[in-house]
Amino acid sequence: SAVISQKPSRDICQRGTSLTIQCQVDSQVTMMFWYRQQPGQSLTLIATANQGSEATYESGFVIDKFPISRPNLTFSTLTVSNMSPEDSSIYLCSVVITVGNTIYFGEGSWLTVV
């Protein structure tokens, strides 16, 4: 398995501000992803974080709103920009580890926008 650390774990943010979430993995990974889970709902893929290049975004998500970096194999950041109350969600980092090719999730970053 893998230990996936996300920071912050929780935050309350002011409308109009931006927040950067960090994801650090303790294992060698092949792929990293960012998901959003709105209250009471399932998980929706935001983007695939690509090492050293621009992330690949899913339909409905854009780089200006959710800029993503992945400077190396085991670290990625997701920024939620110009936040509104509709951005209140859990943001989850997910990885595919090299050994076993299984997909694991972090504990999530629980954001509330007021």
* Min dist. Cβ of residue 82 to another protein (A): 26
Whichever of 38 and 84 has its CB closer to another protein, that residue is 38
Q: Taking CA 32 as the corner, what is the angle to CA 63 and CA 14, rounded to the nearest 5 degrees?
A: 45
Amino acid (1-letter code) at residue 68:
I
Contacting another protein within 53-112 (CB under 8 A): 56, 58, 90, 92, 94, 96, 102-108, 110
Q: How do strand 29-37 and strand 89-97 relate by DSSP bridges?
A: antiparallel
Task: Say if residues 40 and 20 touch (Cβ distance below 8 Å).
Answer: no
Summarize as ranges the residues that interact with another protein (CB under 8 A).
1, 31, 33, 41-45, 48, 56, 58, 90, 92, 94, 96, 102-108, 110
